[in-house]
C-alpha cells in the first residue's frame, strides 16, 4: 500500500510526464482493441460464411428424385467433401413457405412442382470449391451450380492483410510505448538517485527502493489499457446500430458480454507486462550506472 502511495505521489509530482506516458499507452491500447475488434468481426464473418452451403447445385424442374440421390451418393464419396445436404422439391417448398410466411397469396400460387430440388455441398478446403462445382455439374439433371468462392477468399485475404498490418503497427506502438515508459521511469530514478543511495545505506530492501518505480510503470500500462478499452468500447457502442445492420446475425457475438471483458483482461495483462518490463529495465540500468 505504501509502495502504491509512493508511486502515485511520484506520478502527481510530475503530472506532464505521467500524462504523456498514460496517453501514449491509451493510444496504443485503443488501436489494439480497435484492431482486435475488427479482426474478431472479420473472423466471425468468415466463420459464418464458411458454415453456409458453399456450393449449391439446382436440378432441373423435371429431374427425378433418383437423379438427386445418385448425385448425392456420388458426391459423398469425394474425399474433399465435408458434408452434403439434399433438398427435394418438397423440402424446397417448405423453405419457401418459411421464408414467405407473411405473403399467403404468394404461397397459394407456388407449389412443389415449380421449385427445383437441390444439393448443398460444403468442402473441407476452400480451394476445392471449383472441383466440387465441376463434379456437381457432371451429374445428370443438374441445371445450375452456384458457389461463393470469391466472397470467402476475398474475406480471407482481407483478414490476413488486416492481421499482418495490425500486428506490425501494434508491435511498433508497443515498442514506442515501452520506450516512453522506460525514459520516464529512468528520469524518475535518476532524479532520486541520491535519495536511493541514502535509503540503501539505511538498509532499505530491494522492494522498498525500487517498488514505487516498478509499480509506476505498471500503472501506466494498466491505466493505458483501461482508458483505451473504454474509448474503443464507447466507439463500438456508438457504431453498434450501423454494425448490427451491416453484419446482421453475426453482430450478436461481437457485442457479447463475455468477449469485451476478455479483451480488457488480456489487454490489461499485456499493458501491465509492457509497463513492468520497461520499468524493470529502466531501474536496473540507472542503478547499474549509479
Partner 1 sequence: MVSFDNVTKRYGEVPILSSVTFTIEPSEFVFLTGKSGSGKTTVMRLLTHQVPFEEGEIRVEDMNLKKLSKKDVQRLRRMIGVIYQDYKLLTERNVAENIALGLEIMGKPKSEIDMRVRELLELIQLPDKAKLFPSQISGGEAQRVCIARALAIAPKMLFADEPTGNLDDPTAFSIVKLLAKINELGTTVVMATHNMSLVERMNKRVIDLSEGKITDRPKKVVHQHKKESAK
Residue 103 interacting with partner 1 (CB under 8 A) = no
Residue 1 interacting with partner 1 (CB under 8 A) = no
Coil/strand/helix, residue 187? helix
Residue 208 interacting with partner 1 (CB under 8 A) = yes
Angle at 130 between CA 124 and CA 133, to 5 degrees: 95
> Phi-psi region for residue 76, left (φ > 0), alpha (ψ -120 to 50) or beta?
alpha
Residue 204 interacting with partner 1 (CB under 8 A) = yes
Residue 284 interacting with partner 1 (CB under 8 A) = no
Enter the C-alpha cell of residue 219. Answer: 500503472
Q: Which of 105, 109, 201, 258 touches partner 1 by CB under 8 A?
A: 201
Q: How far is the CB of 12 from partner 1 (least distance, A)?
A: 13
d(CA 266, CA 226) in angstroms, rounded, equals 11
Question: 6 or 149, CB closer to partner 1?
Answer: 6
d(CA 32, CA 36) in angstroms, rounded, equals 6
End-to-end Cα separation, the chain, in angstroms: 27
Question: 76 or 198, CB closer to partner 1?
Answer: 198
Tell which positions 167-196 bind partner 1, by CB under 8 A.
194-195
Contact present, 287 and 188 (Cβ < 8 Å): no
Q: Which stretch binds partner 1 (CB under 8 A): 17-25, 68-76, 159-167, 204-212?
A: 204-212
Q: How far is the CB of 13 from partner 1 (least distance, A)?
A: 9
Question: 90 or 195, CB closer to partner 1?
Answer: 195
Residues contacting partner 1: total by CB under 8 A:
13
Contact present, 84 and 120 (Cβ < 8 Å): yes
What is the crossing angle of helices 149-191 and 206-238, to 10°?
150
Q: Which of 205, 240, 256, 290 touches partner 1 by CB under 8 A?
A: 205
Catalog residues that contact partner 1 under the rule CB under 8 A: 2, 194-195, 198-206, 208
Amino acid at each position: 500500500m505504501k509502495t502504491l502511495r509512493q508511486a502515485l505521489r511520484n506520478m502527481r509530482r510530475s503530472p506532464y510526464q505521467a500524462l504523456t506516458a498514460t496517453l501514449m499507452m491509451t493510444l496504443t491500447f485503443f488501436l489494439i482493441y480497435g484492431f482486435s475488434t475488427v479482426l474478431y468481426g472479420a473472423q466471425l464473418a468468415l466463420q459464418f460464411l464458411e458454415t453456409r452451403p458453399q456450393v449449391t447445385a439446382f436440378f432441373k424442374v423435371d429431374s427425378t428424385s433418383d437423379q438427386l440421390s445418385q448425385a448425392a451418393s456420388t458426391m459423398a464419396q469425394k474425399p474433399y467433401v465435408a458434408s452434403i445436404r439434399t433438398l427435394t422439391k418438397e423440402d424446397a417448398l417448405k423453405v419457401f413457405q418459411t421464408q414467405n410466411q407473411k405473403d399467403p397469396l404468394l404461397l397459394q400460387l407456388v407449389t412443389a412442382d415449380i421449385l427445383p430440388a437441390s444439393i448443398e455441398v460444403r468442402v473441407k478446403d476452400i480451394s476445392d470449391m471449383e472441383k466440387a462445382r465441376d463434379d456437381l455439374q457432371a451429374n445428370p439433371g443438374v441445371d445450375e451450380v452456384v458457389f461463393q468462392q470469391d466472397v470467402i477468399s476475398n474475406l480471407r485475404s482481407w483478414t490476413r492483410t488486416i492481421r499482418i498490418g495490425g500486428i506490425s503497427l501494434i508491435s511498433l506502438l508497443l515498442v514506442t510505448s515501452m520506450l516512453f515508459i522506460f525514459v520516464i521511469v529512468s528520469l524518475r530514478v535518476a532524479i532520486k538517485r541520491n535519495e536511493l543511495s541514502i535509503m540503501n545505506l539505511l538498509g532499505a530492501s530491494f522492494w522498498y527502493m525500487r517498488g514505487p518505480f516498478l509499480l509506476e510503470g505498471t500503472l501506466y500500462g494498466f491505466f493505458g489499457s483501461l482508458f483505451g478499452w473504454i474509448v474503443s468500447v464507447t466507439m463500438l457502442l456508438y457504431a453498434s446500430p450501423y454494425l448490427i445492420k451491416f453484419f446482421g446475425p453475426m453482430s450478436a457475438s461481437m457485442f457479447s458480454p463475455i468477449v469485451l471483458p476478455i479483451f480488457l483482461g488480456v489487454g490489461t495483462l499485456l499493458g501491465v507486462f509492457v509497463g513492468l518490463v520497461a520499468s524493470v529495465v529502466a531501474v536496473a540500468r540507472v542503478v547499474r550506472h549509479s
